[in-house]
Amino acid sequence: MESISPRTTILSVVIPMFNEAAVIPALVARLRPVLDALGVDYEVVAVDDGSRDDTVSVLFDHGRAWPQLRVLRLRRNSGHQAALTAGLHRAVGQWVVSLDADLQDPPETIAEMLRVAREDGVDVVYGVRADRSTDTVFKRNTARGYYWAMRRLVGVDLPAQAGDFRLLSRDVIEVLRRLPERAPVYRLLVPSLGFPSAEVRYDREARAAGETKYPLRRMVALAWESTANFSAAPLRLATWMGMSSFLLCLALIVFGMVVHVSGATIPGWTSMFVAVLLLSGVQLVCLGLLGEYVGRIYATVQNRPAFHIGFDSRDGVPGAETGAGAHVGDKVVGLRG
């Protein structure tokens, strides 16, 4: 679309969407006035993450009346972070805001983020949830646990309660595009880059329509992804378990010797049984942990794209891009997203 020019676009708003047809009308109705009022050239990059409902056709319907709405379609459901990656890599704006489709993060905050970024000269502005009372108790507590654990485990200075609603400068985007990471977890990755940052507080609202796309299964996956991506702590845990069971064995050996010397022969069945179970248990856990990391190394070496872009409405012809994944220059960066 001619109205979106890489040279003059100041702001890109990237919105991953998975089965969000129900919420799009409300989203457009609220987002558009905010962006129009900014008085700068902008684009909205709606990334359809392989939705199975009418998300794409609803987007196209709205796109007819809103030339700044650009639709990026992934060939299949690749997950929130992968969809975000696709959008961030394709966005052309000098500033890029990532936003959820469900209006839990109020679009009005975007104006403030942009203002703070320009006035304070920072590269990152985090949206920090001041009030999560509209989230369920379960969600609030799992979220609190997640941020607590990540701060300890990952060691980066993680802004509390900062989700994926944030503004990034072009410099940050370029750094992110070059990272060879398979499945980046942006809420940890961005703070770890150490760009100057600021925070904008907002109240998290209730989902405008549709239902959450983050069932427990995906939340657990995100937590594990975050941990394994950022630290080898689980591997150290394996070492610790191995060491302590080794010490336990040493004690048992001493005990065995004492019993042997004192001549009191014990039946020995129970102790054998327990020791074998304990040791094989520890060994299996350690093997599993090793396997997780080996799997990661394998996936990185395979270098498969984390997503395939089916089409980008900015390119005009749907399906024009048949190549895999995102491109940086001429190079297919594959899993790097």
Q: Which residues bind ligand UDP (CB under 6 A)?
A: 16-18, 20, 49, 77, 79-80, 83, 100-102, 104, 212-214
Ramachandran area for residue 46 (φ above 0: left; ψ -120 to 50: alpha; else beta): beta
Nearer to Mg ion, 48 or 102 (CB): 102
**To the nearest whole angstrom, how small is the minimum distance from the Cβ of residue 213 to ligand UDP?**
3
Residue-wise burial string across 213-232, b where 16 or more C-beta atoms lie within 10 A, e elsewhere: beeeeebeebbebbbbbbbe
Nearer to ligand UDP, 234 or 325 (CB): 325
Nearer to ligand UDP, 91 or 286 (CB): 91
d(CA 135, CA 300): 35
**To the nearest whole angstrom, how small is the minimum distance from the Cβ of residue 13 to Mg ion?**
16
**To the nearest whole angstrom, how small is the minimum distance from the Cβ of residue 211 to ligand UDP?**
7
- The item of Mg ion, ligand UDP, none sharing an interface with residue 298, based on CB under 5 to 8 Å by kind, is none
CA angle, 280 then 281 then 286, to 5°:
95
Residue 302's contacts (CB-CB under 8 Å, 6 or more residues apart) are 335
d(CA 216, CA 128): 22
Nearer to Mg ion, 218 or 314 (CB): 218
Residue type, 246: F
- The item of ligand UDP, Mg ion, none sharing an interface with residue 305, based on CB under 5 to 8 Å by kind, is none
Nearer to ligand UDP, 16 or 127 (CB): 16
User: Max alpha carbon distance in the chain (Å)?
Assistant: 92
Q: Which residues pair with 303 in a beta bridge?
A: none
**To the nearest whole angstrom, how small is the minimum distance from the Cβ of residue 89 to ligand UDP?**
15
User: Where does this chain bind Mg ion (CB under 5 A)?
Assistant: 100, 102, 104
**To the nearest whole angstrom, how small is the minimum distance from the Cβ of residue 50 to ligand UDP?**
8
CA angle, 56 then 61 then 83, to 5°:
30
